[in-house]
Amino acid sequence: MSATPASDRQSGEQPDEAIVDQLRVLFREALSIEVASPDTDLIDAGLLDSLALVELIFQIEQRFAIDLALEELEVDNFRTLARLSASITEQKNATE
């Protein structure tokens, strides 16, 4: 299955490479999913379904020590590792 790049990332938005690397490990170890690129669209590529999303949210909260309020979650933030990285960085900065 080929992965679709998410080309609609805002210009100038650079993912935190350390967080992207941690997310790759999380996907591989916790979800048994190999993600080819930070811009791979996880939903369009069929890599992330609703059950995996619930597990992903749990794993992110544990690994990054943040609280993701369900009513504030945007599905588009879970489309790529780059977007996830930006969302995690934003959440961590908001709690510091």
Over residues 53-80, mean pLDDT:
92
pLDDT at 13: 55
In a domain, 1, yes or no: no
Question: Which residue range(s) make up the domain with 50?
Answer: 16-95
Q: Which pTM value belongs to this model?
A: 0.81
pLDDT at 38: 95
Our count of domains for the chain comes to 1
pLDDT at 5: 45
59 conformational bin, left if phi > 0, alpha if psi -120 to 50, beta if neither = alpha
For residue range 23-47, list pLDDT tens digits in order.
999 999 999 999 999 999 999 999 9
Euclidean distance between CA atoms 65 and 62, whole angstroms: 5
CATH number at 41 reads: 1.10.1200.10
SS (H, E, C) the chain: CCCEECCCCCCCCCCCHHHHHHHHHHHHHHHCCCCCCCCEECCCCCCCCHHHHHHHHHHHHHHHCCCCCHHHCCHHHHCCHHHHHHHHHHHHHHHC
